[in-house]
Amino acid sequence: MDAQTRTELEAAAFRRLVAHLQVRTDVQNIDLMNLANFCRNCLSRWYREAAEERGVALTDPQAREIVYGMPYEVWKATYQTEATPAQQAAFKPTHHK
């Protein structure tokens, strides 16, 4: 597989992941963190960092809107729920990059 095709496939997979996460608003970020050690905020940060590496100015709020499909504050107010005691007990803060 050539590099261009690989990049196109990776981009398509990323877009599908983002679309899936936008539809699955029932899946909370703490669920993602507990299961996979990353969340929507991580994904948006990685997106912003990739933009910066390429000289593209992108703020955290702009990157989050790309990943969430709406302003982050709107998503939080509409879909975010309080973490349950079980979710909190399972959460282990890490430094993930």
- pLDDT value at position 96? 54
pTM of the model as a whole:
0.88
Low-confidence stretches of the chain (pLDDT < 50) are none
The mean of the pLDDT values for the chain is: 94
- Residues ≥6 apart with Cβ < 8 Å to 39: 29, 30, 32, 33
Q: Which long-range contacts (CB under 8 A, 24 or more apart) does 27-35 make?
A: 28/80, 28/81, 28/83, 28/87, 29/80, 30/83, 30/87, 30/88, 30/91, 31/87, 33/91, 34/87, 34/90, 34/91
- Fold adopted by 3-90: SMc04008-like fold (1.10.3340)
Q: pLDDT tens digits for 78-94? A: 999 999 999 999 988 76
Tokens at 4, concatenated: 């261009």
For residues 51 and 46, give the distance between their C-alpha atoms in angstroms, rounded to a whole number.
9
